[in-house]
């Protein structure tokens, strides 16, 4: 049995600087392949604009983080990244971060839910599909449900040349999963704030075609 980590200190991080910046970089690189991770410079710009970073610290060391993007749909935010350092995985830190965020955003007056983007477990190598299915199972164990889209989303990788295939989940705070026009608004907001895709872009139109009739 893997021993539990000491209880982490969960706090917002306003800027990535010094030791914390290097630890953040290491966890990001451990947790996501090159075409799924943004540069630190891009994340710096997000923090100055519409993102909030929450860190899990044990002592002075950053051992996990969650990056939240504000969307323009009332009561909805997007979990852009959730990651834990290799040596602290399977010790409850991911769940602690998720519970912390649910408590924090659930206390807001207009709380609705948290959108989660996860890599589809229907593409990639056998090992990649296994890891992705475990990540999806983790979110489901913690209350997330799939949004009613007809398939996975084909999104541009951060390397500018590849495609990644993702799914959207909904972690409820006060609202059931969105439907109808609210679901469409959530999808459009996600595409705009996460990938810079506007209405009329072929990739946006392909994503909208997955909405239920």
Residue 71, C-beta contacts closer than 8 angstroms, at least 6 positions apart = 77, 78, 115, 186, 189, 190, 193
Residue 106, C-beta contacts closer than 8 angstroms, at least 6 positions apart = 173, 174
Q: Print burial letters for 90-116: b (CB count within 10 Å at least 16), e (below 16).
A: ebbbbebbbebbbebbbeeeebbbbbb
Both structure tokens of 157: 């990788």
Domain boundaries, the chain: 9-208
Q: Does domain 9-208 have CATH number 3.40.50.720?
A: no
120-179 residue pLDDT tens = 888 778 888 888 899 999 999 999 999 999 999 999 998 888 899 999 999 999 889 999
The helix/strand/coil state of 97 is: helix
Residue 1 pLDDT level (bands cut at 50, 70, 90): very low
β partners of residue 67: 53, 81
- Answer whether 0.75 is exceeded by the pTM: yes
10-41 residue pLDDT tens = 999 999 999 999 999 999 999 988 888 999 99
Both structure tokens of 151: 């398939």
């Amino acid at each position: 049995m893997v021993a539990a980590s000491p209880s982490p200190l969960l706090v917002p991080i306003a800027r990535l600087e010094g030791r914390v910046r290097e630890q953040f970089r290491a966890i990001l690189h451990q947790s996501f392949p090159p075409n799924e991770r943004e540069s630190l410079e891009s994340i710096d710009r997000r923090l100055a604009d519409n993102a909030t970073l929450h860190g899990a610290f044990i002592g002075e060391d950053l051992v996990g983080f969650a990056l939240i993007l504000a969307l323009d749909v009332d009561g909805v935010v997007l979990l852009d990244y959730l990651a834990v350092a290799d040596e602290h995985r399977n010790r409850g830190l991911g769940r602690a971060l998720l519970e912390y965020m649910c408590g924090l955003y659930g206390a807001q007056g207009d709380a609705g839910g948290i959108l989660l983007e996860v890599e589809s477990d229907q593409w990639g190598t056998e090992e990649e599909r296994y890891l992705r299915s475990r990540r999806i199972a983790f979110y489901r164990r913690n209350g997330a449900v799939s949004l009613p889209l007809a398939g996975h989303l084909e999104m541009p990788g951060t390397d500018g040349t590849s495609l990644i295939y993702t799914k959207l989940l909904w972690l409820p705070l006060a609202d059931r999963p969105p439907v109808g026009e609210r679901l469409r608004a959530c999808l459009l907001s996600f595409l705009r704030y996460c990938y810079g895709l506007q209405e009329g872009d072929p990739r946006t139109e392909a994503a909208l075609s997955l909405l239920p009739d």
